[in-house]
Structure 1
Amino acid sequence: MIHFVLLISRQGKVRLTKWYSPYAQKERSKVLRELSGVILTRGPKLCNFVEWRGLKVVYKRYASLYFCMCVDAEDNELETLEIIHHFVEILDRYFGSVCELDLIFNFHKAYYILDELLIAGELQESSKKTVARLIAAQDSLVETAKEQSGSISNMIAQAAK
């Protein structure tokens, strides 16, 4: 099971967090400080697995971001690396060569993509095409809602005249 997902920049800024296990807010802050310190100081030639508090943290650096997942100690590290890569590929497909700014300004879409991929700390959907189709459907619904709210606003403005 995946306990949490973190995206951390090389400067130590947290760009995305998703918690699947219960952690108090104080504990979450402590985890973020501790793990960012551990991961950012590791050399590039060291393995991408860290044993931490009886769990395993699997991470992979893509450009300026570290994608980290904390899993049970007995979980397969390579499968977790594949899930990370799968998430990055879907982000790349959606944003067209995803970068840190895409995640900063469109964090809600990044969370939606992650929610389509993982549910309750387990892989929900392994098909990139299915995830892309679901995201496109969500975007279509959002656009329709924006258009309808715009037309309702225009009707209210005209009625108020």
Structure 2
Amino acid sequence: MIQFVILISRQGKVRLTKWYSPYSQKERSQIIRELNGLIISRAPKLCNFVEWRGFTVVYKRYASLYFCMCNDEEDNELETLTIIHHYVETLDRYFGSVCELDLIFNFHKAYFILDEILLAGAMQETSKRKTLRLIAAQEDLVETAKMESSSLSKVIAQATK
């Protein structure tokens, strides 16, 4: 089971976190600090797996971001690396060559994509096409709700005149 997902920039700024196990805010900050120093300082030619606190941290650098997932020691590291790659490919298809700024300004969409792929720390959806269809359907619902709320506020404004 995946314990948590963290996206860190090369400068050490956290861009996204998703926790699947209960940690206090203090523990979360400490974990981020520890992993930040551990992963960013590693040479590029070293293995993408790190033993840490009885867990295995699997990470992969794409452009200026490190995608890190922490899972139990008995879990398959290569499967976790595949999940990371799947998430990045889905982000790429959605944003069209995803970059750090896409995640900064559209973090809610990045979280939604992650939630469609992972559920409670386990792989839920393996089809990129189906994930993107679900995201498009969600966006349509949001647009419909916005249109309905704006038309409703127009009716209220006219009624109160």
SS in 2 for 1:22: coil
Residue aligning to 1:75: 75
Q: Residues 57-98 of structure 1, C-alpha deviation per residue, up to 9 Å, x if partnerless?
A: 000001110000001111111111100000001111111111
Residue aligning to 1:108: 108
- Cα distance in 2, alignment partners of residues 158 and 96 from structure 1: 42
- Structure 2 stretches of 5 or more lacking a match? none
Cα shift at 1:159: 1.8
Residue aligning to 2:160: 160
TM-score for the superposition, normalised by structure 2: 0.98
Cα shift at 1:51: 0.4
SS in 2 for 1:5: strand
Residue aligning to 2:55: 55
- Cα distance in 1, alignment partners of residues 43 and 13 from structure 2: 19
Residue aligning to 1:25: 25
- Structure 1 stretches of 5 or more lacking a match? none
- Cα distance in 2, alignment partners of residues 147 and 97 from structure 1: 30
- Cα distance in 2, alignment partners of residues 26 and 110 from structure 1: 25
Cα shift at 1:160: 2.2
CA RMSD of aligned residues (A): 0.7
- Cα distance in 2, alignment partners of residues 148 and 98 from structure 1: 31
SS in 2 for 1:144: helix
The 4+ residue runs of structure 1 with deviation greater than 3 A are: none
Q: Residues 120-142 of structure 1, C-alpha deviation per residue, up to 9 Å, x if partnerless?
A: 00000001111111111101101
SS in 2 for 1:134: helix
- Cα distance in 1, alignment partners of residues 11 and 160 from structure 2: 51
- Cα distance in 2, alignment partners of residues 65 and 159 from structure 1: 52
SS in 1 for 2:89: helix
